[in-house]
Amino acid sequence: RTQLRGDEVIVVSNREPYIHQREGDAIVVKRPASGLVTAVEPVMRACSGTWIAHGSGSADRDVVDANDHVRVPPGAEDYTLRRLWLTEEEEAGYYFGFANEGLWPLCHVAHVRPVFRESDWQRYREVNQRFADAVVAEARSEDPIVLVQDYHFALLPAMVRAKLPRATILTFWHIPWPNPESFGICPWRRELLEGMLGSTILGFHTRYHCKNFIETVDRYLEARIEHEHSIVSYRDDETFIESYPISIEWPTERTVARWPSVEDCRRNVRQRLGLPADQLIACGVDRFDYTKGILERLHAVERLLEKYPRWTDRFSFVQVAAPSRSSLPEYRVFQERIKEVTERINTRFGNEHWQPVRLLAEHHDTDAVNELYRASEVCVVTSLHDGMNLVCKEYCAARDDEAGVLILSRFAGAARELNEALIVNPYHVEETADALHRALTMPQAEQRERMASLRMTVREANVYRWAGLMLADAGRWRLRERIEARV
Ligand code: F6P
Quick check: 428 pLDDT over 60?
A: yes
174 lines ligand 1 (CB under 6 A): yes
Given the CA of residue 95, which atom of ligand 1 is nearest to it? 15
Res. 1: pLDDT tops 70: no
Distance CA 195, CA 180 (A): 17
Q: Which of 38, 41, 174 should be mutated for ligand 1, with most atoms under 8 A from CB?
A: 174
Q: From edge to edge, which strands make up the β-sheet containing 237-243?
A: 69-72, 79-84, 50-54, 9-12, 145-149, 168-172, 201-204, 237-243, 231-234, 224-226
On the question of pLDDT at 410 being above 80, the answer is yes
Q: What is the model's pLDDT at position 128?
A: 98
- Tell me which amino acid residue 430 is: E
Q: Ligand 1 test: best mutation among 13, 14, 15, most atoms within 8 Å of CB?
A: 15
From the centroid of its chain, how far is CA 192? Answer: 21
Q: Closest ligand 1 atom, CA of 150?
A: 4
Q: How confident is the model at residue 280 (pLDDT cuts 50, 70, 90)?
A: very high
Q: What is the pLDDT of residue 42?
A: 79
Output the pLDDT for position 4: 56
State the distance from the centre of ligand 1 to the C-alpha of 414, rounded, in angstroms.
Answer: 16
pLDDT digits (tens, 9 = 90+) for 241-276: 999 999 999 999 999 999 999 999 999 999 999 999
- So what's the pLDDT on residue 156? 98
Per-residue pLDDT, 142: 94
Gap between the Cα atoms of 249 and 251, Å rounded = 6
Confidence of residue 45 (pLDDT cuts 50, 70, 90): confident
Work out which ligand 1 atom sits closest to the CA atom of 151.
4
Q: Which atom number of ligand 1 is nearest to the Cα of residue 38?
A: 8
pLDDT for the residue 3: 53
pLDDT tens, position by position, 52-84: 999 999 999 999 999 999 999 999 999 999 999
- Predicted ipTM? 0.95
- The alpha carbon of 480 and the centre of ligand 1 are apart by a number of angstroms equal to 34
Question: Which pLDDT tens digit goes with each residue over 337-387?
Answer: 999 999 999 999 999 999 999 999 999 999 999 999 999 999 999 999 999
**Contact by Cβ (8 Å): 406, 434:** no
| 19 CB neighbour count, 10 Å cutoff | 19
Which atom of ligand 1 is least distant from the CA of 39?
Answer: 6
Please state the three-class secondary structure of the chain as a single string: CHHHCCCCEEEECCCCCCEEEEECCEEEEECCCCHHHHHHHHHHHHHCCEEEEECCCCCHHHHCCCCCEEEECCCCCCEEEEEECCCHHHHHHHHHHHHHHHHHHHHHCCCCCCCCCHHHHHHHHHHHHHHHHHHHHHCCCCCCEEEEECHHHCCHHHHHHHHCCCCEEEEECCCCCCCHHHHCCCCCHHHHHHHHCCCCEEEECCHHHHHHHHHHHHHHCCCEEECCCCEEEECCEEEEEEECCCCCCCCCHHHHHHCCCHHHHHHHHHHHHCCCCCCEEEEEEEECCHHHCHHHHHHHHHHHHHHCHHHCCCEEEEEEEECCCCCCHHHHHHHHHHHHHHHHHHHHHCECCECCEEEECCCCCHHHHHHHHHHCCEEEECCCCECCCCHHHHHHHHCCCCCCEEEEECCEHHHHCCCCCEEECCCCHHHHHHHHHHHHCCCHHHHHHHHHHHHHHHHHCCHHHHHHHHHHHHHHHHHHHHHHHHC
Nearest CA to ligand 1 atom 15: 325
Compute the C-alpha angle 173/179/184, nearest 5°.
95
- Report pTM: 0.94
16 C-alpha vs ligand 1 centroid, how far in Å?
Answer: 11
Any atom of ligand 1 within 6 Å of the Cβ of 175: yes
Return the pLDDT at 329: 96
Q: Is 36 in the pocket of ligand 1 (CB under 6 A)?
A: yes
- pLDDT at position 213 is 98
Residue at 264: amino acid letter: D
| Nearest protein CA to atom 11 of ligand 1, as residue | 34
The fraction of the chain above a pLDDT of 70, given in percent, is 99
Tell me the C-alpha distance between 102 and 113, whole Å.
8
Minimal-distance CA residue to ligand 1 atom 14: 15
150 CB near ligand 1 (under 6 Å): yes
pLDDT above 90 covers a percentage of the chain that reads 90
Using the atom order of ligand 1, give the atom closest to the CA of residue 386.
Answer: 1
Q: What is the C-alpha separation between 413 and 416, in angstroms, rounded?
A: 6
What pLDDT is stored for residue 34 in this prediction? Answer: 76
Would you mind telling me the total number of residues written for the chain in this entry? 487
Q: Is 35 in the pocket of ligand 1 (CB under 6 A)?
A: yes
Choosing from 19, 36, 177 the residue with most ligand 1 atoms within 8 A of its CB, the one to mutate for a pocket test is: 36
How far is ligand 1, taken at its centre, from the CA of residue 88, in Å? 19
Residue 5's pLDDT band (boundaries 50, 70, 90)? low
**Which residue's CA is the nearest one to ligand 1's atom 6?**
36
Determine the Cα–Cα distance for residues 327 and 285; give it in Å rounded to an integer: 21
Nearest CA to ligand 1 atom 7: 34
Residue 376 Cα to ligand 1 middle (Å): 25
Measure 287 CA to ligand 1 centroid, in angstroms.
9
Mutational pocket test of ligand 1: of 12, 14, 34, the residue with most ligand atoms within 8 Å of the beta carbon: 34
Q: Which ligand 1 atom is the nearest neighbour of the CA of 174?
A: 2
- Report which ligand 1 atom has the smallest distance to the Cα of 36: 6
The pLDDT assigned to 212 comes to: 98
